[in-house]
Amino acid sequence: MSAQSATYSFLDLSVVINNPVLPAPITFAGNLGTGSLTVTMHTERTVLDTAADGTVMPSYVAGDSGAFTMEAQQTSSLHQALLDLYNTLKAAADNGDVSNWAATTISARNIISASQHRGTGVAFSKIPDKPYVAQGGRVTWSLQACNIDNA
């Protein structure tokens, strides 16, 4: 007899995006036209150096930088909220005020598994590509994070 694991549901994911320029945080829980959220860590923790004689020296590399990638329907309220935040931060930066550019935080928590990720020092990579096609599509937002805690 095989064991059954816990049931997964994207609706069990709770996400909060905040920045000082926002009147209220952007929150969603598998809704608002969201297709996916992916957390990617950038730092390779172990680097191996092999000498000519074959001696291997492992090195530990510190750092918790990473990225949050969100896919949303192009007409969704999530896409519009991220676009509004991006445009507000870009307008300020274009006028010499970059104080909030990397002040975004993202918290993602799965209620069933209790796994969570908290990103600080979060900034937009770029505005997403926008498809203009016969049928509605999705846009992909990528945000870089100086630090991501994993639990």
What is this structure's pTM? Answer: 0.87
Residue 31 has pLDDT above 70, yes or no: no
Query: What domains sit in the chain, N to C, each tagged with a CATH number?
Result: 10-150 (2.30.110)
Identity of the amino acid at 57: M
pLDDT of residue 136: 87
Rounded to whole angstroms, how far apart are CA atoms 112 and 58? 37
Rounded to whole angstroms, how far apart are CA atoms 125 and 51? 37
Rounded to whole angstroms, how far apart are CA atoms 16 and 87? 19
Rounded to whole angstroms, how far apart are CA atoms 78 and 32? 5
pLDDT of residue 35: 82
